Structure 1
């Protein structure tokens, strides 16, 4: 039997290292083995090799109404074990770190749901003074940051067109309430009662309300005397505005006809009024004499 030639143990280990090194160079040097990562897992799927990335689907200019909550949404992919912080740019004040507040102003809160890539800064009861630039920061080396602009405004509502309308009985009416900024809900009131689609009669389609975040339109089909009065548009978080509707029967508004009827019930007549005036003049003349 021929005699085998074996390399000394240190030499064989060195040869193994050289072979592995050459293989790594051929593969781009991407292979990293750790105790908690099985060798069979492709290296590009390992979280330890992925760097955080800001997603481009974040809305970075946010407009909020005074007194309403404001939300800044920061979307980050491959965060790993890094920590997200929110910082107010004008004074470099740290507001939140992770899920924990880092300020005595309890209006600022951090929101995040497990399994999502979204980290949100919530500002309760936003004020004009809260307007400015905020940074979403990630604890990488060097630090990563993405700027957001918050604009807090005084939202207003208005009635489109004439705020006092005179319409004939039986005609159709549209009242439109337009908002300068979004509202979560818009309510209509008629004589201090909430107007709904079945305001007069359940199942009736005489009243319809069409609502979007920036407007609400009240449709009334075939108006009657009871439709007259003040209609108030009341958006959530915005000062209400009102419109007045006069329903005309014939040539005069219903309200004017009701007033005339009440005057006739008083029994007054032009001749009686004239007699009373003459009597007062005679009494006054007698007193002077």
Structure 2
């Protein structure tokens, strides 16, 4: 009896131990499951650029890669009007230039714009449908190719000196490096009868630079000079030829109104003097020396 009782107690003790072990094991398992079920939000690949710049007419690609997506949808939103362009691989726009390239292996959602236009410039958001929503903005800048002549739009130069005008432009990668210079309505030629004319054009990548030089300028060289790169918006400058030293006041694009008491640009007084009497020019604007040769007073 004693041995049986002892055996029963031993058995009871063993069961208690097993029960404790099972409870402990179950508790540990639940704890592990809870830890493994902790929610982790998706993450964007921040190594990708946030700004994309292209020339008008070129294709543009706005990158977006999302880690730990776990089946959530990814959309592209145009920020200026909150237009939903796409959701995953579906596109919601009638503009066929927009298309999303989806790569499930890398969780990549690339928004492509074929032949980007200047109006496409702006901020686009790559958005994940979490709560709260996660988004990553990408800025698209579309440059409009155009020629540019630095400095004032009016240039005064002394007769007999050398005229130098430099024009720059950003070109498409496939655009030719051709630049045409026009004086008034005539194309400038280095082999023409004038002589002393040179044009130097060079290109480094998309950057184009062209310099026109005219030696020993005369009155006939005055007028409008236009730089016309191939298929780009041209740039122009107006050149005035003067007999004497160029007055300091004439270096300003806005005329001589700064401190000289002249309410209108220098060009107005010069034209008035040429049509009437040169004496009117300094009379109306004391700070200005008339850039025209003497004409007889009208009878």
Q: Could you state the TM-score of these two structures normalised by the residue count of structure 1? A: 0.47
For normalisation by structure 2, the TM-score amounts to 0.46
